[in-house]
Amino acid sequence: MPISFFFDGAVDAGEFKAIDPRSLFVSDFLASSEGVALVKAYMKIKNAKLRRCIVQLVEHVSPRAS
């Protein structure tokens, strides 16, 4: 049996799309118990202005990227 038999209908390597690093970051974050707790609590905040302030606070206290 020719080797091509086992790959019949396989996706061409050129058809794969690059994985977005942001997707991996979000997946890693949501895989942690802290990430899930933070998202759940954040989503309970109905006031959009308060949510924006919380994001600004977290950005302010987090280390800056070099």
pLDDT at 27: 86
CB contact at 8 A, 30 and 39: yes
> Looking at residues 24-29, what average pLDDT do you find?
85
Gap between the Cα atoms of 60 and 42, Å rounded:
17
pLDDT at 60: 93
Closest CA to 54 of 63, 41, 66: 41
**Residue ranges covered by each domain of the chain:** 18-66
Q: What is the pLDDT of residues 32-43, one digit of tens each?
A: 999 999 999 999
Q: What is the pTM of this model?
A: 0.57
Q: What is the pLDDT of residues 37-64, one digit of tens each?
A: 999 999 999 999 999 999 999 999 988 7
